[in-house]
């Protein structure tokens, strides 16, 4: 019986060790995936900023074989990276992952960033990804992130954690928060933040308009000429003259 209990205890210990090793391995792979994604998005953004073509495309560099670019360079030259209207690689990346994989990459990254206190390193790479995506995804995705994902509050909380414990997380969260709150140049009238502010002030505008209408009515009343005693007296005299009998 003692050998049986010792064998069971050894099995439990071995199972716990295996679970711990598997969890550490999974966490490491997950962190590496976030690192690769953030580096890739950053590279695309920097390349688009440094060497844009006439329409915001990437220019192919000579490969050395007669000056002809490689197929990958030719493909990069035909795909706009980060045009200002939010129609480039970040927006396509968000839409394609939802279409092909059935997942919302913005929601996943915001959820990872929300665990900044427990996993600041993962949150740092998530904030880097969100900064690039928010800058190039267009106002539609940014408004959805603010409204449906509570991204503004989560990014602000990660920024607070970074200010206390993680300098790189602080910088990446600050950039992501600025990009999330920014207005797109091609929005045609401002961002969703401005729309929300306009909606909040509509009630005040209606009240002031009503007050202005009442003031105009009062001014009209004041401008009406008062009926004086002379006018009343003249009307009475006309009545008397009409009633007198002729001699």
**The pLDDT of residue 126:** 97
Task: With beta carbons less than 8 A apart as the criterion, state whether 142 and 192 touch.
Answer: yes
Residue 212, token pair as written in the block: 């202005």
User: Helix/strand/coil (H, E, C) string of the chain?
Assistant: CHHHHHHHHHHHHHHHHHHHHHHHHHHHHHHHHHHHHHHHHHHHHHHHHHCECCCCEECCCCCCCCCCCCHHHHHHHHCECCCCCCCCHHHHHHHHHHHHCCCCHHHHHHHHHCCCCCCHHHHHHHHHHHHHHHHHCCHHHHHHHHHHCCHHHHHHHHHHHHHHHCHHHHHHHHHHHHHHHCCCCCCCCCCHHHHHHHHHHHHHHHHHHHHHHHHHHHHHHHHCCCCCHHHHHHHHHHHHHHHCCCC
**The pLDDT of residue 11:** 78
Task: With beta carbons less than 8 A apart as the criterion, state whether 89 and 136 touch.
Answer: yes
Listed in sequence order, the residues at least 6 apart from 85 whose beta carbon sits closer than 8 Å to its beta carbon are 138, 184, 185, 186
pLDDT along the chain (247 residues), means of 10: 65 84 94 96 88 47 49 47 59 93 95 96 97 94 96 97 96 96 56 41 45 48 45 48 46
**The pLDDT of residue 198:** 42
**The pLDDT of residue 205:** 46
**The pLDDT of residue 108:** 96
Distance CA 4, CA 247 (A): 148
Task: With beta carbons less than 8 A apart as the criterion, state whether 97 and 86 touch.
Answer: no
Residue 136, token pair as written in the block: 């190039």
Backbone angles phi, psi at 149, to 5 degrees: -105, -5
**The pLDDT of residue 195:** 44
Q: State if pTM tops 0.95.
A: no
**pLDDT tens-digit profile of 7-32?**
667 777 888 888 899 999 999 999 99
């Amino acid at each position: 019986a003692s050998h049986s209990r010792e064998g069971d205890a050894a099995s439990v210990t071995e199972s716990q060790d295996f679970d711990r090793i598997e969890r550490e391995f999974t966490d490491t792979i997950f962190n590496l995936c976030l690192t690769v994604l953030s580096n890739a998005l950053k590279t695309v953004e920097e390349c688009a900023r440094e060497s844009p073509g006439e329409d915001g495309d990437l220019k192919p560099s000579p490969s050395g074989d007669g000056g002809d670019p490689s197929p990958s360079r030719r493909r990069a030259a035909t795909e706009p990276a980060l045009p200002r209207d939010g129609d480039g690689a970040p927006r396509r990346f968000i839409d394609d992952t939802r279409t092909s994989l059935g997942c919302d990459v913005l929601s996943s990254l915001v959820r990872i960033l929300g665990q900044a206190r427990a996993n600041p390193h993962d949150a740092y790479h998530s904030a880097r990804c969100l900064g690039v995506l928010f800058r190039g995804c267009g106002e539609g995705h940014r408004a959805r992130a603010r409204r449906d994902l509570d991204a503004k509050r989560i990014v602000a909380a990660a920024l607070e954690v970074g200010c206390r414990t993680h300098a790189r997380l602080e910088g990446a969260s600050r950039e992501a928060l600025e990009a999330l709150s920014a207005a797109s140049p091609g929005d045609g009238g401002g961002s969703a933040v401005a729309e929300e502010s306009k909606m909040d002030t509509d009630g005040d505008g209606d009240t002031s308009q009503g007050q202005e209408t009442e003031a105009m009515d009062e001014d009209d009343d004041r401008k009406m000429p008062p009926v004086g005693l002379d006018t009343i007296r003249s009307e009475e005299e006309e009545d008397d003259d009409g009633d007198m009998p002729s001699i």
